[in-house]
Structure 1
């Protein structure tokens, strides 16, 4: 079965069961500092290249594992990420990347389409998917909602359909998720690694600063 037909079948099943099932995955806004993970392990190349924001030599590195259908991920990117970006990423203090951790086939499809938009547009497409969850992840026809959203980015219907047929991309996004789960014990989204310290939940900037600020002291 092709990736396209499989994705469409699973999306239809998901819609029939209620799209809220996908949005239930994740953690409520709260900080939970957990074990440290060696940065050398976190930075090993995965199945897909990381798309970084910020300076390569920034003193603090933040890796986020997120799902495109996770409402708590959407909350973080609406409420906390803009301040994190303007205060720390854009000023060269933090290097940031988001890694795909889809909880359901609908999120998998969204991430595939974001990758197919190109490395220079991946983050913008993910931001659009998170901001517009109600217009695709919570609808009776999610594939149609995705088509409408991706059309806004300039993606043609031909590219859209070809992307969802890309078995290698489908498998590689699954490998990124599996590595996060198996190697770093990611169990819910959003999960962050701030210079190797695991933080779970849609945390506020003040909580993240408890780990960011010490790295900025010379």
Structure 2
């Protein structure tokens, strides 16, 4: 589990005017989501592609979760971007999310998956690793560089991360929210998520 920390760089220091809006677990216009939007259960994951615990969950639990719930249409899955840790962790997470957005909505989750899969070696050569992922989704080096240094998109990312922390009261990753009810932050097995989904389905 990683504590949430807003990046301190001036580029990432904007505050949100909308932090008092009503919370909702439905997908917001700038969220990324998969699965059946009409499903009875919505699972929101608050995570960072720079978070080692999130990466472990992605490798060990997510494939089975996706097969059982997303691909089957039983769950609407919403992913919300967070920036966690400090220093290189925030920088790498931001670059990873910017790359995923630049790749396009149809490739967003594939890029996230690739970044998560690159842990722990990601931090040994972050630029080279992310550039390799960019090339896998059809981007060249110039496009990659322009993407991860786009100030407008960096500001938008920071806005989303601050909103997710403040409006939705999330201060650690990964955090899972099932139909608006949060589980304790941290790693959860599929059995634990099964139980939370079953409880939500019976409400």
Task: Find out whether 1:42 has 2:25 as its counterpart.
Answer: yes
- State how far apart, in whole Å, the 2-side matches of 1:193 and 1:166 are: 31
Judge conservation of contact 1:26–1:70 (CA < 8 Å) in 2.
no
Q: CA RMSD in A?
A: 2.3
Does the CA-based 8 Å contact 2:178-2:197 persist in structure 1? yes
Show the counterpart of 2:130: 146
Are the equivalent residues in 1 in contact too, given 2:174–2:187 (CA < 8 A)? Answer: yes
Q: Which whole-Å deviations, capped at 9, do the CAs of 1:59-118 have from their partners, x for residues lacking one?
A: 110111111111110111111111111111111111102111022121111110111000
Q: Residue 98 of structure 1 aligns with which residue?
A: 79
Match 1:158 to one of 139, 142, 157: 142
Whole-angstrom distance in 2 between the partners of 1:129 and 1:189: 16
Aligned positions, number? 181
SS in 2 for 1:57: coil
**Range with bigger deviation, 101-110 or 144-153:** 144-153
Cα deviation 1:133-164 (Å, max 9, x = unaligned)? 2332x21x422222122212221112101112
Report 1:13-24 matches (<5 A): none
Q: What's the counterpart of residue 16 of structure 1?
A: none
Give the 4+ runs in structure 1 shifted more than 4 A: none
Q: Secondary structure at the match of 1:102?
A: coil
Aligned to 1:74: 55
Q: Counterpart in 1 of 2:199? A: 214
Residue of 161, 165, 178 corresponding to 2:162: 178
Distance 1:42 1:168, change over 3 A: farther
Question: TM-score, length-normalised on structure 2?
Answer: 0.81
Residues in 1 aligned to 2:28 and 2:67: alpha-carbon distance in whole angstroms: 27
Structure 1 counterpart SS, 2:83: coil
The answer on 1:124 being equivalent to 2:144 is: no
**Which runs of 5 or more structure 1 residues have no equivalent in the other structure?**
1-23, 28-38
Q: C-alpha offsets along residues 147-182 of structure 1, whole Å, 9 cap, x if unaligned?
A: 122212221112101112321211111111101111
